[in-house]
Structure 1
Amino acid sequence: MPDAISSSTLTRLMRLGAALLYLLLIGYGSLYPFSGWRAPLNGSLAFLSAPWPRHITRTDLITNLLAYLPLGYLLASWLRQYLPRWRAALWAILAAALFSLLMEWAQTFLPGRIAATLDIAANAAGAMLGVLLYRLLQGSKWPGRLLPGWRGRWLAAGLWSNFGLLVLALWGLSQLSLDVPSLVAGNLKTHFVPFWELPGDGYRFHPLQVLIFGAEGALASLLIASLMRHPPRQFAGWAGIFGFVLVCKLLAAALLLKGWVLPRLLSVEMMSGMVLAVLLIIWARREPAGLHTQLLALLLTLAGVLQFLLHSSAMRTFSGGSGAVPLNITALAAWVALVWPLLVLMLLWLRPLAGAHRAP
């Protein structure tokens, strides 16, 4: 009985901690860079009566929906421990909408930010989708009834595996970033061209981004393999995992970008990065959670930090020393992309400790 009680308490704390952590991430992405605060000319609540923007960009709409979807899921998961199902669902949507209202109100005090009721509506809709997803995945419904059996067959059990799935979900969120180390790195209009349109001379190759593309694709694949009950040994299994990673990347790009830009993803950097990812997977596949994968996570962390510093220096030069100010929630995805390799590294370091605690 004490073990069951402690396990229940730990589950509640984990769900609450995940919801609070995600609230902090959204707050950071919504209010970055936390400088230049000033009182709005028309009052801080004037945006509530302002008309909706004449032009609605697909990128802003999709990122707002997807950014608040996990929040709705996490809030519903936590509240369901204390409230009936429909009350938990309603309170989760209401809490997410109120938090979105708070973020929009705070943005009225920041230059370069535009508060809009459309963003609140999109965020609330995203939270509602998250709540619906939570309801669908419950054991009393389909496909929720299939998940425990599917997970038992394919994925390792235990707290370590749950943390790994959360880290994997954060990797999915990072793909909404338009900066490295996501797939859509840099300025696709000027810096990257399809490999079949390479100019005869004057093309500037980006080796650092090749390294980031390759290391990130390999690390995501190895993370998935490390969470599996029986890591793949055959080529077909690894090809399926790596194909899943690429599909996630291309799907995120298709959601965020216009169709005419998508062919630029097949640049020399991207194709070289895919080859590098395959080589790195071959190098580390014998032990997906072993030392090789840890070194790969450390390498990606250092490369991502270097790219971030170079990008920040360039943006400060072009913007007169002010730096780049992200104008939407993709800033959250960019920061998640930057810290994601560190979370993988922590996960891999903690795995031997978890195994030691399970041993008699």
Structure 2
Amino acid sequence: MRLGALLLYVLLIGYGSLYPFSGWRASLNGSLAFLSAPWPHHITRTDLITNILAYLPLGYLLAAWLRLYLSRWRTVLWAILATSLFSLLMEWSQTFLPGRIAATQDIAANVTGAMVGVMLYRLLQESKWPGHLLPGWRGRWLAPGLWSNFGLLMLALWGLSQLSLDVPSLVAGNLKTHFVPFWEIPGNDGYRFHLLHALIFGLEGALASLLIASLMRHPPRKLSGWAAIFGFVLVCKLLAAALLLKGWVLPRLLSAEMVSGMVLAALLIFWARREPAGLHAQFLALLLTLAGALQFLLHSNAMRAFSGGSGAIPLNITALAAWVALVWPALVLILLWLHPRPLARRVP
């Protein structure tokens, strides 16, 4: 399982680094010329954060697999060396793709993320703090079994999807055109409410909250417990946006679509709260899958004229997060459909 997870994540990183896999051509200045190029005067915060976060799981998974065969310090050494070579390979391959820019600062950010992942693996061992606290914490709060493990993986994928540049992430690309704060709507004559965006925000917020509740050993029964889970989902979304945006931009996230979507999410949670993994939650997962597919079609090249958008897909690691956001609801739908249910009691 460790090797399988590692290989799958390597494929995902390769996809995010080499998309769109077309237009290959020889580099004009030499494929390794980027190694001697000076660093740019300005490094975008989005690229820096996404590169670090993208390679953090790679370092963690590689260390977890290598530790089965190597000693502690050899695991650290070989994990960092392997991720450095893999990052160099990805940057070198980008020199043959138009629209992609290979840079040594990207390699530095990737290696930094991998090192953090390796150190995180060391900290989470049961012989260390806080690693030895995790089994007890999980046994106290989360349901046991393989289904719960896959549920935690779905939550990790949901967190990755928040680094996308489109909905359901709060960043959602160009804030000046796609997001208008609700207090600026009265004076904006050209404003058009994006109903699909609000629907996706509401469905995603409700589904993430219901998934968390379904993984708990004792799902909340009181509204205060549901409010805490929903608040946790909102905080995660805001933290992901804060990683990619400057502080002065964050208030613009309070758009009419986002606010109305969160109100819708609260109503949907109240509607489906009695059985977090039941038919109501599965129905929401299906709706979110269809809404995400419609959002993708409206922003693809084939539907550019209808949507009025650019139809562009980001050519960096955030493209991986965009695809995860697209397939995540379908994976949750399958997981909820396979949810184990207790046997019915016989009535004497």
- Provide the C-alpha distance between the structure 1 equivalents of 2:101 and 2:304, rounded to a whole number of angstroms: 22
**Structure 1 position 139, deviation (Å):** 0.8
Partner residue in 1 for 2:263: 275
Partner residue in 2 for 1:39: 26
**Structure 1 position 315, deviation (Å):** 8.5
- Letter matched to residue 266 of structure 2: V
- Provide the C-alpha distance between the structure 2 equivalents of 1:76 and 1:134, rounded to a whole number of angstroms: 7
- Letter matched to residue 81 of structure 2: L
Contact 2:297/2:303, CA 8 A, preserved across alignment: no
Partner residue in 1 for 2:128: 141
Q: How does 1:40-119 map to 2 (within 5 A)?
A: 40-119=27-106
Deviations 1:103-151 (A, max 9, x none): 1111111000000111011000000001111111111111111111100
Partner residue in 1 for 2:287: 299
Share of identical aligned residues, percent? 86
- Letter matched to residue 21 of structure 2: F
Contact 1:93/1:124, CA 8 A, preserved across alignment: yes
2:115 to 110, 125, 128: 128
**Structure 1 position 77, deviation (Å):** 1.2
**Structure 1 position 350, deviation (Å):** 2.3
Q: How does 1:168-207 map to 2 (within 5 A)?
A: 168-200=155-187, 201-207=189-195
Q: Secondary structure at the match of 2:178?
A: coil
- Provide the C-alpha distance between the structure 2 equivalents of 1:315 and 1:44, rounded to a whole number of angstroms: 36
- Provide the C-alpha distance between the structure 2 equivalents of 1:60 and 1:213, rounded to a whole number of angstroms: 24
> Can you give the 5+ residue segments of structure 1 that lack an aligned partner in the other structure?
1-13
Contact 1:63/1:330, CA 8 A, preserved across alignment: yes
Contact 2:57/2:114, CA 8 A, preserved across alignment: yes
- Letter matched to residue 257 of structure 2: E
Contact 1:315/1:324, CA 8 A, preserved across alignment: no
TM-score (norm. length: structure 1): 0.90
Contact 2:211/2:277, CA 8 A, preserved across alignment: yes
2:242 to 235, 239, 254: 254
- Letter matched to residue 161 of structure 2: S
2:328 to 340, 343, 352: 340
**Structure 1 position 314, deviation (Å):** 8.1
Deviations 1:213-240 (A, max 9, x none): 0001111111111111111111111111
Contact 1:64/1:126, CA 8 A, preserved across alignment: yes
- Alignment CA distance shift 1:341-1:44 (3 Å): same
> Can you give the 5+ residue segments of structure 2 that lack an aligned partner in the other structure?
none
Contact 1:188/1:264, CA 8 A, preserved across alignment: yes
Structure 2 residue 222 is matched with structure 1 residue 234:
yes
- Provide the C-alpha distance between the structure 1 equivalents of 2:66 and 2:286, rounded to a whole number of angstroms: 37
**Structure 1 position 187, deviation (Å):** 2.5
- Alignment CA distance shift 1:259-1:353 (3 Å): same
Structure 2 residue 328 is matched with structure 1 residue 330:
no
- Provide the C-alpha distance between the structure 2 equivalents of 1:150 and 1:322, rounded to a whole number of angstroms: 47
Partner residue in 2 for 1:16: 3
Deviations 1:233-255 (A, max 9, x none): 11111111111110010011111
- Provide the C-alpha distance between the structure 2 equivalents of 1:297 and 1:244, rounded to a whole number of angstroms: 19
**Structure 1 position 186, deviation (Å):** 4.3
TM-score (norm. length: structure 2): 0.93
Partner residue in 2 for 1:3: none
Partner residue in 2 for 1:11: none
- Alignment CA distance shift 1:342-1:354 (3 Å): farther
Deviations 1:183-238 (A, max 9, x none): 22243112222111213443200000000000011111111111111111111111
Contact 1:160/1:354, CA 8 A, preserved across alignment: no
Deviations 1:301-344 (A, max 9, x none): 110111111112389569xx995252321111111111111111
Contact 2:59/2:83, CA 8 A, preserved across alignment: yes
Contact 1:32/1:325, CA 8 A, preserved across alignment: no
Aligned residues: 341
Q: Secondary structure at the match of 1:351?
A: coil
- Alignment CA distance shift 1:178-1:314 (3 Å): farther
- Provide the C-alpha distance between the structure 1 equivalents of 2:177 and 2:329, rounded to a whole number of angstroms: 28
- Letter matched to residue 264 of structure 1: R
- Letter matched to residue 133 of structure 1: L
- Letter matched to residue 159 of structure 1: L
